[in-house]
Amino acid sequence: KNEVEQSPQNLTAQEGEFITINCSYSVGISALHWLQQHPGGGIVSLFMLSSGKKKHGRLIATINIQEKHSSLHITASHPRDSAVYICAAVFRYNTDKLIFGTGTRLQVFP
Amino acid sequence: DGGITQSPKYLFRKEGQNVTLSCEQNLNHDAMYWYRQDPGQGLRLIYYSQIVNDFQKGDIAEGYSVSREKKESFPLTVTSAQKNPTAFYLCAINRGRGQPQHFGDGTRLSIL
């Protein structure tokens, strides 16, 4: 069992829909990252958070430390949001590295 | 990413051949990482370096080697001992532990 689990694996939406991607992890973390990977393969860091909530434009990331769960929300989704979204955790037992989820492939249709 | 450059974008390897993937950064960050991405799997750490002239094995280091002779460069060599090298390779950098990582655009390696 992977230490970082994401759901769903694949997600399709119509433009304008509200999107939620979930990430759960197994043990205590020092930080959790949300990343976006576009079809060409390059990865962009969206958020790094260790508690609470962060917002950037139409993207919102939340984390619940007690439940070991984080969500990435996209409001008013747009076709340009189509990408793979990856969560990655820095666990307290080893802060040298990230442990990655397998990613959620999002397609937003006009 | 403007501060981190991976080359080449595509690379082909013949059986028994070593190939070297380049990763260069101009952000003056200390920590550099190499990851491998396979379909349906999360990124896995191959090697990382926290400082010049020092590096540590990640989770899947067998069949790979690295060097860190300069702060701005962290090349990865895929040796002939790596029996399944076909994958997408990503280099990343960050300022230190717990900081956001910046990724290169990746190199796609295939076997001829």
Q: What is the pLDDT of residues A63-108, one digit of tens each?
A: 999 999 999 999 999 999 999 999 999 887 777 788 999 999 999 9
Backbone angles phi, psi at A81, to 5 degrees: -80, -10
pLDDT, position B83: 87
B97 in contact with A at a CB cutoff of 8 Å? yes
Q: Do residue B42 and residue A99 have CB atoms under 8 angstroms apart?
A: yes
The shortest C-alpha distance from B40 to chain A (Å) reads: 6
Q: What is the pLDDT of residues B67-106, one digit of tens each?
A: 999 999 999 999 988 889 999 999 999 876 667 788 999 9
Strand order across the beta sheet in which A69-74 lies:
A4-7, A19-25, A69-74, A59-64, A52-56
Q: Do residue B42 and residue A90 have CB atoms under 8 angstroms apart?
A: no
pLDDT, position B15: 83
pLDDT, position B1: 46
The shortest C-alpha distance from A96 to chain B (Å) reads: 6
The shortest C-alpha distance from A15 to chain B (Å) reads: 26
Instruction: Number of A to B CB contacts under 8 A, please give it.
Output: 59
